[in-house]
């Protein structure tokens, strides 16, 4: 059962709860990395920003600086990411002082709040889809041709007749697989979305 | 419509019900079908909303090969006599399908050029040559060719034996994973696999064929653990002058290429080039890593292949037998002349190792290793030599100076007549000892007082403490431990 974000935040109160911190990291690192990529960070810089943000969050949370009543977790993380991005820019700028053109200039994380929130939500949805797909794959691990047929017909737009030939099944089975797995995927996505949502 | 529509019919209806009045009429009466149709519509909407995100999420799944399966199969009958059933793989120039012979139902792998009739004459020539070469080889380790011809749309195709198996690297990763504590059994199995491959390559060499592109993905291991060599696409006959492909374009896969495939100075591509690739296969199978960084640009990869010495596999595989390391490093020698002369020779050495017999390969001598190091690091070596020469010069100079001083001091002391005091004789002289508690024999000194050289008495003395002086045994006036 996927833990809700609210429950996760409660569990984080115990600094020694490695499972909770690990789950938090797993949930938000991809979102932060994707968030930074959309804002124009290169892959390595995006990972650095995600790492910096999570580290800063852990430090601030343990110091008791996060109050749930004052806003959503996502807003707080966006704020931290903004500060970490600014700090990275400042440090990188200092390095570039010597005219080192190899170090790329970092983009600014200073877009308006609404835009950042939209980007965050989109990345969160993408992370949910990845997690959902992994869960779906895990639940159909013993039936590789089933997963393959689903991929081809539902995700790649390959005609059902071609999929049937490639997977060695009949066309009706292709449609049955498509609808069975899509339904299961919808359920997983719904469950994860509920879990990711914060009960402020 | 009395019966419930099939899943395919219901799908067509749910997506566009206007063109299926009979099904629409049935669905209106059948609760189950209505529910299914609604479900299909919701699914359809979900997929449409998620858009490319779903495919991207799927692509993020590890170990899921997807790209090769998005291309539709050619129409039935394209390859005369064969029914294509699935795409097995796709490369830059060719595509391979799983197929069945329509008459015999024998499974086969059918390979054809991607560009088909529009393929360049160079590609066509190379493909034709591959077919000719592969068709001429009959060996249990080499995939056999059934037949070849032209497809209905003008492509040249070749039908080969279908091998149900895994690529060598995947097989080793799944079936023979590297554990923290290396095991003799794993090493033995891997050596056995590579021996079989080397035998197959040795057979091809005996037929005058070089493979030139041996890499893990070109070795399939079947369900019984037998390796099979695929893809003679870059093969050429050994007697062909290495002009066409070698000078016009790089032939092979950079990460698996031998030094001579990059730098002409190493000599021509030869049988030993395949030996190098076999050594690489062995190294990668044993260590599950590449001996050099190989994911950078081609210039970077070639630099490593040409000049970086591989990390000894024993550092990566605990308890790896020394003979295995010797075999691997000999096959991977940069200089082709230092490798095994043929794949068959490598196979024999592996066989000897497996049978517990002495192998023929020997480790590089220390002198050779030092010479290679010196060649590789010329400037530091030169600097080190200069420093050593300077130190040697200084030592010699100081020794000469000390000897001069010593001589002058000695002369000044010995030439003093009738000296009753204990002379200051430099320590270490044969005749004039320092205070050592040892048995000594009186011998002539190199310096003597006026009146001719002292005569050695040759008597054995006691320790210095009990023999205060030499009294006349050799005419010397110096104190020494010999009793007269």
Instruction: Say whether residue A180 is in contact with chain B using an 8 A CB cutoff.
Output: no
| Spatial separation of the C-alpha atoms in residues B452 and B77, rounded to whole Å | 118
Subunit contact A165:B46, Cβ cutoff 8 A: no
Nearest-neighbour CA in chain A from B72: distance (Å): 6
Residue B110 lies in a domain: yes
Query: B309 near B174, Cβ under 8 Å?
Result: no
* Spans of chain A below 50 pLDDT: 97-104, 200
> Does residue B226 sit in the same domain as residue B295?
yes
Nearest alpha-carbon partner for B333 in B260, B263, B269, B268: B260
Measure Cα distances from B428 to A1, A75, B440 in Å: 90, 88, 12
Residue B347 lies in a domain: yes
| Spatial separation of the C-alpha atoms in residues A182 and A180, rounded to whole Å | 6
| Spatial separation of the C-alpha atoms in residues B328 and B276, rounded to whole Å | 9
> Does residue B358 sit in the same domain as residue B410?
no
pLDDT at B296: 63
Measure Cα distances from A82 to A69, A75, A113, B112, B461 in Å: 21, 10, 10, 54, 93
What is the pTM for the complete model shown? Answer: 0.48
pLDDT at B361: 79
DSSP for chain A reads: -PPPHHHHHHHTTSTT-HHHHHHHHHHHHHHHHHHHHHTT--HHHHHHHHHHHHHHHHHHHHTT---GGGS-HHHHHHHHHHHHHHHHHHHHHHHHTT--TTSPPPPP--S-HHHHHHHHHHHHHHHHHHHHHHHHHHHTTT-HHHHHHHIIIIIS---HHHHHHHHTS-HHHHHHHHHHHHHHHHHHHHHHHHHHS---
- Look at residues B110, B133, B162 and tell me which one is the last residue of a structural domain: B162
Residue B108: strand pairing partners: B99, B161
Subunit contact A158:B6, Cβ cutoff 8 A: no
- Sign, CA torsion B84/B87/B89/B91: positive
Cβ-nearest to A179 among B43, B54, B66: B43
pLDDT at B241: 39
> Does residue B356 sit in the same domain as residue B381?
no
Pick the residue from chain B with its C-alpha nearest to A138. B61
- Sign, CA torsion B334/B336/B339/B344: positive
**Buried (b) or exposed (e) across A105-120, using 16+ Cβ within 10 A?**
ebeebeeeeeebeebb
Query: HEC profile for B223-264?
Result: CCCCEEECCCCCCEECCCCCCHHHHHCCCCCHHHCCHHHCCH
Query: B465 near B408, Cβ under 8 Å?
Result: no
Find which of A146, A151, A161 to mutate to test the B interface (most B CBs within 10 Å of its CB): A151
Residue B1 lies in a domain: no
Instruction: Say whether residue A154 is in contact with chain B using an 8 A CB cutoff.
Output: yes
Cβ-nearest to B50 among A129, A134, A183: A129
Residue B2 lies in a domain: no
- Provide the residue range defining the domain that includes B371: 171-375
Residues in B touching A134 (Cβ below 8 Å)? 61
Q: Is this prediction's ipTM beyond 0.90?
A: no
Subunit contact B69:A178, Cβ cutoff 8 A: no
Residue B428 lies in a domain: yes
Strand B156-161 versus strand B145-150 pairing type? antiparallel
Angle, helix A18-38 to helix A43-62, in steps of 10 degrees: 140
How many domains does the structure of chain B reveal?
Answer: 4
Instruction: Say whether residue B66 is in contact with chain A using an 8 A CB cutoff.
Output: yes
Residues in A touching B66 (Cβ below 8 Å)? 151, 156
pLDDT at B77: 79
| Spatial separation of the C-alpha atoms in residues B458 and B473, rounded to whole Å | 9
pLDDT at B25: 84
Residues in B touching A135 (Cβ below 8 Å)? none
> Does residue B404 sit in the same domain as residue B296?
no
> Does residue B54 sit in the same domain as residue B109?
no
| Spatial separation of the C-alpha atoms in residues B68 and B88, rounded to whole Å | 7
Cβ–Cβ pairs < 8 A, chains A and B = 85
Find which of A160, A161, A175 to mutate to test the B interface (most B CBs within 10 Å of its CB): A175
- Sign, CA torsion B273/B237/B167/A146: positive
Nearest alpha-carbon partner for B286 in B257, B252, B315, B254: B315
Residue B175 lies in a domain: yes
Residues in B touching A148 (Cβ below 8 Å)? 69
Query: B27 near B34, Cβ under 8 Å?
Result: yes
CATH of the domain at B87: 3.30.200.20
> Does residue B388 sit in the same domain as residue B325?
no
| Residue B301 Cα to chain centre, angstroms | 13
| Spatial separation of the C-alpha atoms in residues B276 and B273, rounded to whole Å | 5
Strand B156-161 versus strand B236-237 pairing type? unpaired
> Does residue B187 sit in the same domain as residue B288?
yes
Residues in B touching A147 (Cβ below 8 Å)? 64
Cβ-nearest to B7 among A129, A156, A176: A176
Cβ-nearest to B8 among A158, A171, A183: A171
Query: A127 near A5, Cβ under 8 Å?
Result: no
Subunit contact A172:B42, Cβ cutoff 8 A: no
| Spatial separation of the C-alpha atoms in residues B9 and A194, rounded to whole Å | 35
Nearest alpha-carbon partner for A149 in A172, A167, A125, A165: A167
pLDDT at B365: 65
Cβ-nearest to A172 among B6, B36, B55: B6
Subunit contact A137:B54, Cβ cutoff 8 A: no
Nearest-neighbour CA in chain A from B40: distance (Å): 6
Is B31 one of the catalytic residues? no
Note down pLDDT in tens along chain B; length 484 residues: 678 888 988 888 887 655 677 888 888 888 888 889 889 989 888 888 876 778 778 777 755 554 444 556 777 778 899 988 877 776 656 788 888 898 888 889 998 876 544 455 666 777 888 888 888 889 999 998 898 888 887 788 899 998 888 889 888 888 888 775 557 788 999 999 999 999 999 999 888 888 888 888 889 998 888 999 987 766 665 544 333 333 334 456 777 888 888 877 787 888 899 999 999 999 999 988 888 877 666 777 788 888 888 888 888 888 889 899 999 999 999 999 999 999 999 999 999 999 988 888 776 666 666 776 676 677 888 899 999 999 999 999 999 999 888 888 777 765 555 545 444 444 444 444 433 444 444 444 444 444 444 444 545 444 333 333 444 444 444 444 343 3
DSSP 8-state assignment for residue B3: S
pLDDT at B430: 43
DSSP for B324-364 reads: HHHHHHHHT-SSGGGS-SSHHHHHHHHHHHHTTPPPS--PP
Nearest alpha-carbon partner for B162 in B215, B101, B212: B101
> Does residue B273 sit in the same domain as residue B356?
yes
> Does residue B221 sit in the same domain as residue B315?
yes
> Does residue B258 sit in the same domain as residue B306?
yes
| Spatial separation of the C-alpha atoms in residues A122 and B44, rounded to whole Å | 21
pLDDT at B416: 54
pLDDT at B142: 92
Of B59, B63, B213, B222, which is the active-site residue? B213
Subunit contact A178:B43, Cβ cutoff 8 A: yes
> Does residue B216 sit in the same domain as residue B336?
yes
- Look at residues B340, B375, B410 and tell me which one is the last residue of a structural domain: B375
> Does residue B428 sit in the same domain as residue B396?
yes
3-state secondary structure of B73: coil
- Look at residues B331, B351, B375 and tell me which one is the last residue of a structural domain: B375
Q: Which residues are CB-neighbours of B87 under 8 A, at least 6 positions away?
A: A166, B68, B69, B71, B73, B95, B96, B97, B98
Query: B450 near B415, Cβ under 8 Å?
Result: yes
DSSP 8-state assignment for residue B142: B
State phi, psi for B251 to the nearest 5 degrees: -110, 120
């Amino acid at each position: 059962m996927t833990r809700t974000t609210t429950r996760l935040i409660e569990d984080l109160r115990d600094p020694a709860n490695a499972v909770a911190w690990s789950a938090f990291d797993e949930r938000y690192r991809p979102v932060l990395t994707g968030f930074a990529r959309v804002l124009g960070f290169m892959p390595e810089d995006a990972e650095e920003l995600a790492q910096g943000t999570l580290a800063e969050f852990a430090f601030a949370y343990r110091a008791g600086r996060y109050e749930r009543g004052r806003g959503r977790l996502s807003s707080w993380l966006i704020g931290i990411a903004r500060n970490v991005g600014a700090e990275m820019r400042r440090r990188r700028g200092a390095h570039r002082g010597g005219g080192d053109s190899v170090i790329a200039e970092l983009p600014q994380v200073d877009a308006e709040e609404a835009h950042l929130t939209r980007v965050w939500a989109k990345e969160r949805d993408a992370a949910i889809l990845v997690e959902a797909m992994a869960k779906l794959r895990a639940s159909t691990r013993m039936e590789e041709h089933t997963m393959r047929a689903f991929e081809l017909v539902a995700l790649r737009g390959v005609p059902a007749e071609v999929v049937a030939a490639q997977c060695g099944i009949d066309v009706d089975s292709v449609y049955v697989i498509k609808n069975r797995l899509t339904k299961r995927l919808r359920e997983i996505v719904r469950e994860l979305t509920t879990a990711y949502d914060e009960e402020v | 419509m009395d019966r419930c529509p099939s899943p395919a019919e219901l799908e067509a209806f749910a997506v566009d019900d206007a063109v299926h009045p009979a099904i629409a009429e049935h669905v209106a009466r059948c609760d189950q079908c209505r529910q299914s149709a609604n479900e299909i519509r919701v699914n359809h909407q979900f997929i449409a909303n998620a858009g490319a995100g779903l495919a991207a999420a799927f692509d993020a799944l590890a170990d899921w090969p997807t790209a090769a399966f998005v291309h539709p199969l050619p129409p039935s009958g394209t390859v005369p006599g064969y029914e294509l059933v699935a795409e097995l793989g796709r490369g830059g120039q060719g595509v391979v399908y799983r197929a069945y012979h329509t008459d015999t139902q024998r499974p086969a792998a059918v390979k054809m050029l991607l560009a088909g009739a529009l393929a360049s004459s160079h590609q066509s020539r190379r493909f034709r040559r591959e077919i000719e070469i592969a068709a001429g080889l009959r060996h249990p380790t080499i995939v056999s060719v059934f037949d070849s011809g032209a497809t209905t749309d003008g492509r040249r195709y070749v039908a080969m034996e279908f091998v149900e198996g895994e690529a060598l690297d995947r097989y080793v990763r799944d079936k023979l994973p590297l554990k923290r504590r290396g095991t003799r059994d794993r090493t033995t199995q891997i050596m056995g696999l590579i021996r079989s491959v080397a035998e197959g390559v040795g057979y091809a060499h005996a037929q005058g064929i070089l493979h030139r592109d041996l890499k893990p993905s070109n070795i399939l291991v079947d369900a019984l653990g037998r390796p099979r060599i695929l893809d003679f696409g870059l093969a050429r006959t050994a007697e062909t002058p290495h002009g066409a492909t070698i000078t016009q374009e790089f032939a092979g896969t950079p990460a698996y290429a031998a030094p001579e495939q990059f730098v002409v100075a190493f000599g021509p591509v030869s049988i030993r080039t395949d030996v190098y690739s076999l050594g690489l296969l062995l190294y990668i199978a044993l260590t599950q890593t590449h001996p050099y960084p190989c994911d950078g640009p081609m210039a970077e990869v070639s630099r490593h292949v040409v000049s970086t010495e591989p990390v000894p596999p024993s550092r990566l595989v605990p308890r790896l037998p020394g003979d295995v390391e010797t075999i691997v490093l000999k096959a991977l020698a940069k200089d082709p002349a230092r490798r095994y002369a043929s794949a068959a020779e490598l196979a024999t050495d592996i066989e000897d190792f497996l049978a517990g017999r002495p192998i023929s390969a020997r480790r590089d001598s220390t002198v050779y290793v030092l010479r290679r190091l010196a060649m590789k690091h010329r400037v530091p070596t030169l600097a080190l030599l200069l420093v050593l020469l300077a130190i040697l010069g200084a030592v010699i100079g100081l020794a000469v100076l000390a000897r001069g001083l010593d001589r002058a001091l000695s002369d000044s002391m010995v030439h003093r007549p009738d000296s009753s005091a204990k002379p200051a004789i430099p320590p270490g002289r044969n005749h004039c000892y320092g205070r050592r508690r040892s048995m000594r024999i009186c011998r002539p000194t190199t310096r003597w007082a006026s009146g001719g050289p002292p005569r050695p008495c040759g008597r054995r003395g006691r320790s210095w403490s009990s023999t205060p002086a030499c009294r006349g045994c050799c005419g010397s006036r110096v104190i020494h431990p010999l009793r007269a």
